[in-house]
Structure 1
Amino acid sequence: MLMNKNSGPASGEAKLQYGPNGFRVLRAGQHVFCAASGEAIPLDELRYWSVEYQEAYATPQLATERLKP
């Protein structure tokens, strides 16, 4: 995870830029929302995302389902 100088502790939804090996915090926050389920995902638990679609997923099953053609 890469953090910029403006990404200190904050509450609410974070804005992230997803990369192939991690993500960059664009706006500080405590969580992001799963694109498939709408569930809040704490940043320290975020493990699954799409670089192409710039979306986060709560579980590998939701990511797989969302990314099916």
Structure 2
Amino acid sequence: MNKKLAKLKYLPNNFEIIENGDHVVCAVSGKSISLENLNYWNVELQEPYFSYVEAHKKKETH
């Protein structure tokens, strides 16, 4: 890992890399998520989530 933060555009079933990097940061927990392990995000809010737990927490508060 080169530890560079990626900038992504989150799409309904995929994401587009705007700026190359190897990870993003969870919008809820602040945990680093490697792009290979990125499975949860919100298209409307354009936010990544570490797991279904964080995604669910965000959904409850939004």
TM-score in terms of structure 1 length: 0.82
**What stretches of structure 1 move > 2 A for 4+ residues in a row?**
none
Question: 1:16-65 deviations in whole A, cap 9, x for unaligned?
Answer: 00000100000000000000000000000000000000000001011011
Compare the two structures and name the one with the higher helix fraction: 2
TM-score in terms of structure 2 length: 0.91
Unaligned runs of 5+ in 1: 1-9
1:61 aligns with 2:53: yes
1:13 aligns with 2:5: yes
Higher alpha-carbon Rg: 1
Aligned length: 60
Unaligned runs of 5+ in 2: none
Identity %: 42
